[in-house]
Amino acid sequence: MNGPNVKDLALLLPELILVCTALALILAARRIQKTPWAAALTVLAAVAAALASAWLLSGGSKTGFGGMITVDAYSQFFKVLIASALALVTLLSVTADRPSRPDPRTHRPKDPQTHRPKPRPAEYHALLLLASTGMMFAASAVDLLILYLGLELATLCSYILVGITVEKPTSNEAAIKYFLLGSFASALLLYGIALAYGATGATDYAAIASAFSSRGPGSHRILLAAIGLLAAGLAFKIAAFPFHAWAPDAYQGASTPVAAFLATASKAAGLAALGRVCLVAFAAEARVLSSVLAGLAGLSIIVGSIMALSQTDMKRLLAYSSIAHAGYALLGFVSGTPEGAEATMTYVFLYVFMTLGAFGVVIALGQRGESLNGYQGLAAQRPGTAALMLLFLLSLTGIPPTAGFTAKFVVILSIVRAGHLALAVLAVVCSVVWAFVYLRVAVLMYMKEPQEPAPSYFSVAVYTALAVAALVTIIGGIFPGSLATWVVSP
Amino acid sequence: MSFLTAQAAFYYLASVSVASALLAVTRKNPIHSMLWVLALFLHVAGIFLLLRAEFLAAVQVIVYAGAILVFYLFVLMLLDLPAETAGPRFGRHWPLAAAAGLGFAALGGLAHIETPDAAPAPEDLGSLADVGTKLFGPFALPFEIASLVLLAAIVGAVVLAKRRAVES
């Protein structure tokens, strides 16, 4: 293994931009008391990182640091996606900073000082940046060690971001639950990596793949255990069944922008890592992997759909939605072919924008947006916001001509081609269940009388983010081929 | 070191480790228990040295005997020590715990089976020089990412602690 070369640092340009911005924010934390400054800096860094990722790709794919990271179309696709999610979440956080109405049942502040929401904008944004850096490392990793450290950096920041909200007592509980389950999943992942190292003496994907090919498939018992443990650890990161239990509590307890970040960027990074592990490192065990992933995907879709039916809290509903969508995204990997992986990439890209849009509307409505009843009569009070919500809900359901239809179409097509007809039927049937769940919100918005006073207007930042999300959702639906040149499997 | 001295050293370290572990769980005063645990950690570090795992020995002393023990002592200072000393040393479930411990020891004895699929271990695995050159050579990038993980943890600890201060 060659030592690192200073020139390799250039390959890490997007990550370095994010880390330097995070360090600058931490150093200047005492001086930054206003959210807009920190948010502006973070959005700039995210845009710069996305541009840098795209620019790096123009020099062709390279590996660096002794074959530990790679810069190829696959990694840069996910880096641009993660950077976009970071920028949109940052824009959405600008409003969440405004003092919301205190919950009279649980919280009665005596002193206005104690009710100051999220008093540390610099640290909040620094943690978002560091989490995104970790996700980018995970997307770029071709070595299990980098994969683990990247994901660990991302999840560690996520634990803190979930618990950072001051005004919510549930935030604490959610953070601790998330932390305990997350540590357990990290241990599984690490154990899987240790077994893979023990069996092959290497942690890089290429060496693991060649160790597989030197023996027949299915003969390497330790590596089979390693596959199972790695799949379990990564399934936690994307909140797929049976490792989904943390998601509804964490999303509900976290502030809404953080929940949006967990549902989008975090999931994209987990899927990016899983895709490369499946298609490069463990490609020889495609048969075992395919049945494991098919199980995870099918059960995630079923459990997410059934649990969503009885939800009355919007964020919990979106959490179950994200569990089911993780299942749909996994469908692409089931076939184990490059086309399948490309279908998953398309799915994740469009999913990130429509989910950010839906969370954006929840944020724009403030306290009112958190429960389903808050949507009653929204169309009469705020027709524009209601129309946007309808667009995102239609897209999440998968109704043409929105992006959600394109996304579901490509993944279901890929499993039909792979011969998993039962899974395809299941995916379509559960889409119908989801239509019922999502359209219930639409019915509340359009066919009920308003129960609460109209929500106040919100900052330009939130509307910018909503406009970007809506634009991608519409373009992705009308021009389904627009992503085709960008999605390239590893 | 000749074979005989090495064996003598091992039996000394092993017997003192077992004895100090037993003393650590049976002492009434938690501070005394902690001191026996310190003795245990140092002797286990000695066993690692005998196995030529210098790095593990150093980590054992610095992390366990240093950081973790001090952490335990801090927690002990938050307890009411006299009341703690007056109560019975063991809870009602101690036979269960003892059975579990003995079962684990038996499992250790049985675990001599060869793992058939394992890759051979590299030559100078675990020596201090080897770990050092690897850490600043091929593994420089993971090392730096680990530093970011620690930075995030520190920032997070400060943020969460400050949040409590705002709440109270």
In a domain, residue A106? The reply is no
Question: Could you tell me the pTM of the whole model?
Answer: 0.86
pLDDT, residue A216, reads: 63
- Cβ-based contacts of A137 with chain B (< 8 Å): 145
Distance from C-alpha of A409 to C-alpha of A397, rounded to nearest angstrom:
12
DSSP code string of A43-72:
HHHHHHHHHHHHHHHTT--EEETTTTEEE-
**Span A347-359, average pLDDT:** 93
Whose tokens are 């943690």? That residue is A127
Nearest of A7, A24, A252 to residue A130 by alpha carbon: A24
| Residue A327 within a domain | yes
- HSE toward the beta carbon, residue A18, CA cutoff 13 A: 31
pLDDT at A372 over 60: yes
CB < 8 Å to A220, chain B: 117
Tokens (6 digits) for A297: 């995907």
pLDDT tier at A326, thresholds 50, 70, 90: very high
Contact B156 A160 (CB under 8 A): yes
Measured distance CA(A137)–CA(A143) in Å, rounded: 10
In this structure, which amino acid lies at residue A321? Answer: S
Whether pLDDT at A20 is above 80 = yes
Question: Residue B148 and residue A166: Cβ atoms within 8 Å?
Answer: no
Which span out of A125-139, A429-443, A455-469 was modeled with the highest average pLDDT?
A125-139
Distance (Å) from the C-alpha of residue B154 to the closest C-alpha of chain A?
A: 11
Asked if A198 lies within 8 A of B118 by C-beta distance, the reply is: yes
Q: What is the pLDDT of residue A101?
A: 43
Residue B117: list chain A partners with CB under 8 A. Answer: 199, 220-223
Q: Mapping DSSP to helix (H, G, I), strand (E, B) and coil, where does residue A100 land?
A: coil
For residue A429, what are the CA distances in angstroms to A87, A297, A426?
Answer: 35, 14, 5
Q: Determine the residue among B155, B158, B167 to mutate to test chain A binding: the one whose Cβ has the most chain A Cβ atoms within 10 Å.
A: B155
pLDDT attached to residue A336: 83
For B118, the closest chain A residue by CA position comes to: A199
Distance from CA of A72 to the nearest CA of B (A): 18
Annotate A302-313 with DSSP letters as a single string. Answer: HHHHHHHTT--B
In terms of Cα–Cα distance, which of A261, A264, A263, A273 is closest to A233? A273
Residue with token string 């008391």: A33
- What pLDDT score does A329 carry? 93
Lowest-confidence range among A14-28, A92-106, A220-234, B105-119?
A92-106
Cα–Cα dist A177/A246, whole Å: 7
**Which residues are A204's β-sheet partners?**
A143
pLDDT band at B164 (very low <50, low <70, confident <90, very high): low
Q: Indicate the domain borders of chain B.
A: 1-85, 128-168
| Chain A residues with CB-CB distance to B113 below 8 A | none
Which of B152, B160, B163 shows the shortest C-beta gap to A156? B152
Q: Which residue has the higher pLDDT, A284 or A416?
A: A416
**Top-confidence residue, B148 or A110:** B148
**Mean pLDDT of the residues in chain B:** 84
Do A159 and B139 make contact, defined as CB atoms within 8 angstroms?
no
CB within 8 Å: A223 and B167: no
At residue A458, what are phi and psi to the nearest 5 degrees? -120, 175
Tell me what pLDDT residue B53 has. Answer: 83
Give the pLDDT confidence of A242-260 residue by residue, as tens digits.
888 889 989 988 889 999 9
The answer to whether the Cβ–Cβ distance between B148 and A164 falls below 8 Å is no
pLDDT at A49: 93
Phi and psi of B151, rounded to 5°?
Answer: -60, -45
- State the SS3 of B66-119: HHHHHHHHHHHHCCCHHHHHHCCCCCCCHHHHHHHHHHHHHHHHHCCCCCCCCC
A156·B156 Cβ contact <8 A: yes
C-alpha torsion angle, residues B103, B106, B107, B112 (rounded to 10): 180
Compute the distance between CA of residue A235 and CA of residue A348 in angstroms, rounded to an integer. 15
Task: Tell me how far apart the alpha carbons of residues A355 and A393 are, in angstroms, rounded to a whole number.
Answer: 9
Instruction: Mutate one of A156, A178, A212 to test the B interface: name it (highest B CB count within 10 A).
Output: A156
Chain A residues with CB under 8 Å of B118 CB are 198-199, 222
- Structure confidence by residue, pLDDT tens digits, A471-490: 998 888 888 777 777 777 77
Chain B residues near residue A19 by CB distance under 8 angstroms = 148
Query: Is A120 within 8 Å of B159 when comparing Cβ atoms?
Result: yes
Residue A103: per-residue pLDDT: 42
Q: Is A98 helix (H, G, I), strand (E, B) or coil?
A: coil
Check whether A104 has a pLDDT greater than 60.
no
Under DSSP, the state recorded for A243 is: S
CB A374 within 8 A of CB A454: no
Choose the mutation target among A160, A165, A166, A285 for the interface with B, i.e. most B CBs under 10 Å: A160
Mean pLDDT to the nearest integer, A433-439: 89
Residue B7 CA to residue B50 CA, distance in Å, equals 9
Residues of B in contact with A202 (CB under 8 A): 119
pLDDT at A210: 85
Highest mean pLDDT among A46-55, A93-102, A213-222, A284-293: A46-55
Give the pLDDT confidence score for residue A279 in this predicted structure: 87
Chain B nearest C-alpha distance from A60 (Å) = 22
DSSP-assigned letters across all residues of A141-168 = B-BHHHHHHHHHHHHHHHHHHHHT-SS-
Cα dihedral across residues B108, B110, B115, B119: positive or negative: positive
- Per-residue pLDDT of B80-129, as tens digits, reads 777 777 777 777 888 898 899 899 888 877 766 666 666 666 666 667 78
| Chain B nearest-CA residue for A153 | B149
Q: Contact A74/A12 with Cβ under 8 angstroms?
A: no
**Per-residue model confidence as pLDDT tens digits over A60-103:** 888 888 888 899 889 999 999 999 999 999 999 886 444 444 44
Q: Determine how many CB atoms are found less than 10 A away from the CB of residue A326.
A: 29
A contact test, residue of B123, B134, B149, B168 with most A CBs within 10 A: B149
List CB contacts of A32: < 8 A, sequence separation 6 or more: A25, A38, A121, A122
- Separation between Cα atoms, residue A241 and residue A296, nearest integer Å: 6
What is the structure's pLDDT at A486? 78
* B141·A4 Cβ contact <8 A: yes
For residue A124, which residues of chain B lie inside 8 Å, CB to CB?
159
Which chain B residues are closer than 8 Å to A6 by Cβ? none
Mean of pLDDT values over A251-278: 92
Chain A residues near residue B126 by CB distance under 8 angstroms? none
pLDDT of A118 above 50: no
Residue A169 to residue B58: CA distance in whole angstroms = 42
Relative to beta strand A62-64, strand A69-71 is antiparallel
Q: What is the pLDDT of residue A395?
A: 92
CB of B33 within 8 A of CB of B85? no
**Confidence at residue A217, expressed as pLDDT on a 0 to 100 scale:** 59
Q: What is the largest CA-CA distance in chain A?
A: 69
Query: Do the Cβ atoms of B138 and A130 come within 8 Å?
Result: no
Distance CA B59, CA A489 (A): 42
- Name the token pair of B19: 């004895």
- A252 contacts A174 by C-beta, under 8 angstroms: yes
- Considering only alpha carbons, which residue of chain A is nearest residue B156? A160
| Of A277, A269, A274, the residue nearest A208 (C-alpha) | A277
Report the alpha-carbon distance of residue A2 to residue A9 in Å, rounded. 15
Contact A3 B145 (CB under 8 A): no
Pair A225, B117: CB distance under 8 Å: no
Domain range for A202: 6-98+114-483
Query: Computed from CA positions of residues B143, B146, B152, B153, in that sequence, does the dihedral angle turn out positive or negative?
Result: negative
pLDDT of residue B161: 82
Residues A284-313: tens digit of each pLDDT: 777 888 888 999 999 999 999 999 988 888
Angle between helices A267-276 and A221-237 (to 10 degrees): 160
Q: How many Å lie between the alpha carbon of A148 and the closest alpha carbon of chain B?
A: 9
Number of structural domains, chain A? 1
d(CA A62, CA A70): 6
Q: Which residues of A touch B148 (CB under 8 A)?
A: 19, 130, 133-134, 153
**pLDDT score, position A47:** 94
- Smallest CA-to-CA distance from A282 within A417, A148, A192 is with A192
Q: Do A163 and B160 touch (CB under 8 A)?
A: yes
pLDDT confidence of residue A218 = 58
Give residue A114's pLDDT band: very low, low, confident or very high (50, 70, 90): very low
As a whole number of Å, the end-to-end CA separation of chain A is: 22
- On whether residue A193 sits in a domain, the answer given is yes
pLDDT digits (tens, 9 = 90+) for B29-80: 888 888 999 999 999 999 998 888 888 898 899 999 888 898 888 888 887 7
Q: pLDDT confidence of B135, banded at 50, 70, 90? A: confident
| The predicted structure's pLDDT at residue A100 | 44
Residue A223 has pLDDT above 90, yes or no: no
CA dihedral A160, A161, A167, A169 (to 10 degrees): -50
How much is the average pLDDT of A226-243?
89
pLDDT at residue number B116: 61
Kindly tell me if the per-residue pLDDT of A349 is higher than 50: yes
Q: Which residues of A touch B139 (CB under 8 A)?
A: 145
Task: Mean pLDDT check: name the lowest of A74-83, A210-219, B69-78, B140-149.
Answer: A210-219
Q: What is the mean pLDDT of residues B129-142?
A: 85
Q: Which of A5, A69, A153 to substitute to test the interface with B, most B CBs within 10 Å?
A: A153
Q: Hey, which CATH number is domain B1-85, 1.20.120.1200, 3.20.20.100, 1.10.510.10, 1.10.645.10?
A: 1.20.120.1200
Among all residues of chain B, which has the CA nearest to that of A212? Answer: B117
Q: How close A364 gets to chain B, by Cα (Å)?
A: 25
Interface test with B, best of A17, A32, A68, A143 (most B CBs within 10 A): A68
Residue at token pair 């991302």: A154
